[in-house]
Amino acid sequence: MKKTIMLAACTHFEPEIRAVLNKMEVTDVVLRVFPAHCGHPPMKWKEFREMASEAQDSGELHILGGCCLANLDETPDEFTPCEIHRNVQCFYMAAPQALVDAYYRTGAYLVTPGWLANWKDAIREWGFDQKTGTLFFQESMKKIVLLNTGTDPEAHQNLQEFSAFISLPSETVEIGTEHLRLVLSEIILKARLSQTTQTVQVERRQKSDYVMILDLIHQLGDNYTEKKVVDNLMDLMFMLFAPKAVYFQTFREGEPSHSWPEGQALPSEFEEMRKNMKEHGKPILWNSRDNSMLIHVAYQNKTMGILFVEGLQFPQYHNHYMEITQFIRDIIGLFISHARQFEELKTALEHVKQLSGLLPICSNCKKIRDDKGYWQDVAVYVRDHSEAEFSHGICPDCMRKLYPDYYKKNRDSGNNNGPVDNKPKK
């Protein structure tokens, strides 16, 4: 029987963690919450005694937090199995450390939707009224920054009220829950890995699988092209499932765009299973006839691709395969999306750089000198170094200078093309 993984976290992060766990559809994880200790002395082990007792009966306890866990050092015997996941700042659970630290350096006071929902209670508990609260925050803070996870529709309104109360400007950073999902995924995977070491020999296979998945999370995070992400993904499928073949078809704007392995046609079973998946609305489809799996890879409800794992050699692990596939498919979608965004940003920056800096231009003929020392017409240079194309015409000033009779005739007849000539007629 699979043991329960109990997560304990501050009430300020409860909405986000519940949202992530619901999205992950995990059945072996439960959440317990403890009161927020922001501005209070760190918590003590006795405050977790009831949770620890429950975890001993059914599984293991994982306590998540920041400074509020500073006094939880060596785990007492009566609290095992228990693991502390303590961050220097609890915000590191919700957003990348580099982002959080960057805002701290600007003098920002960071808040989450959970904290803002009860900001008045926090001010009251700290013994502040509006005057003393304003003095306290303005003494060391320059602005209020909401790390918005999208879990509370009233977060923006609460931010405006709190910002007005202490007379500080505010801004919002939309971070979503994807970073928190990665944090929880690693905790849960490591917890499952720990559990497998206590099981019988038949479950040892799961241990190596979870190790490879953990390695995947770190490897994919270092890949900045979609091709590298997909190549590593296919390697992982071969290591996990020992299949006959693996195919992946990417999607852009809802339409198929590319398939792997490159140069190979997708098997007929792929399209057949894809139709069944669409009809039944299932993200993972198992075909017991030939022991194959079809996996819908998505990010933020947008299809990133369809993965087809054909001819798995060990169908007796069917339930385990389905479980780990459910766990990693959205993570794969996240990394594919990030790789695409990086490639788009890189392309955009390359275009921007093409016409930046000082351009040597002739003061007489207006030709531009390129990097190789050759002088080029302005139109040719811009065409070769940007996405712009030129069409040619003649402006009214040049028409007046080069073709005075034709210009006068067109001006008098009102048929002069180009910008309106506002010079008085002679």
Look at residue 183 and tell me if it is in a domain. Answer: no
**Residue range 14-19: average pLDDT?**
94
Same domain, 84 and 140: no
Q: How far apart are CA 126 and CA 12, in angstroms?
A: 17
Band (22; pLDDT cuts 50, 70, 90) = very high
* 45-68 tens-digit pLDDT: 888 888 877 776 667 889 999 888
Residue 228 has pLDDT above 90, yes or no: no
If asked whether residues 336 and 256 sit together in one domain, one would say: yes
pLDDT of residue 281: 83
Residues 31 and 110 in one domain: no
In CATH, what number is assigned to the domain containing residue 2?
A: 3.40.50
Sign of the torsion angle spanned by Cα atoms 62, 65, 71, 74: positive
CA distances (Å), origin 7, targets 137, 214, 397: 32, 19, 76
pTM assigned to the model? 0.52
The answer to whether residues 240 and 323 belong to one domain is yes
> Is residue 232 in a domain?
yes
CA angle 216, 208, 316 (to 5 degrees): 110
Residue ending a domain, choose from 146, 176, 206: 176
Residue 86 shares a structural domain with residue 99: no
The predicted pLDDT at position 7 comes to: 93
Task: Specify whether 102 is located in the same domain as 119.
Answer: yes
Span 257-265, average pLDDT: 87
Distance of CA 403 to the CA centre of its chain: 61
> Measured between alpha carbons, how far is 417 from 364 in angstroms, rounded to an integer?
28
Confidence of residue 425 (pLDDT cuts 50, 70, 90): very low
* pLDDT classification of 426: cutoffs 50, 70, 90: very low
Q: How far apart are CA 303 and CA 309, in angstroms?
A: 18
Q: Which residues contact 193 (CB under 8 A, 6 or more apart)?
A: 207, 210, 211, 214
- Same-domain status, 23 and 52: yes
Q: Is residue 305 part of a domain?
A: yes
421 pLDDT tier (thresholds 50, 70, 90): very low
Put the strands of the sheet holding 284-287 in their side by side order: 255-260, 245-252, 302-310, 292-299, 284-287
Mean pLDDT, range 241-254, rounded to an integer = 89
Whether residue 379 lies inside any domain: the answer is: no
User: Looking at residues 190-213, what average pLDDT do you find?
Assistant: 68
Cis peptide before 424 (omega within 30 of 0): no
Q: Are residues 229 and 265 in the same domain?
A: yes
Q: Is 113 found in the same domain as 79?
A: no
Residue 33 shares a structural domain with residue 118: no
**Among candidate residues 344, 377, 401, the one where a domain is terminated:** 344
The residue behind tokens 């200078």 is 401
| Residue 157 burial (CB count, 10 A) | 11
Please check whether residue 391 lies inside any domain of the structure: no
Domain boundary residue, one of 176, 193, 210: 176
121 shares a domain with 28: no
Element (H, E) at 219: helix 204-221
Q: What's the number of domains the chain is made of?
A: 3
In-domain check, residue 25: yes
Query: Is position 366 within any domain?
Result: no
Question: CATH number for the domain including 311?
Answer: 3.30.450.40
Counting residues of the chain whose pLDDT is more than 70, the rounded percentage is 85
The pair of three-digit structure tokens given for residue 17, joined into one six-digit string: 């963690």
Residue 69 clears pLDDT 80, i.e. is over it: yes
DSSP assignment letter at 3 = P
Please check whether residues 105 and 118 belong to one and the same domain: yes
User: Domain for residue 50, yes or no?
Assistant: yes
Lowest mean pLDDT among 4-13, 94-103, 226-235, 366-375: 366-375
What is the number of alpha carbons within 13 Å of residue 24 lying toward its C-beta? 27
Range of the domain at 40: 1-90
**pLDDT score of 248:** 92
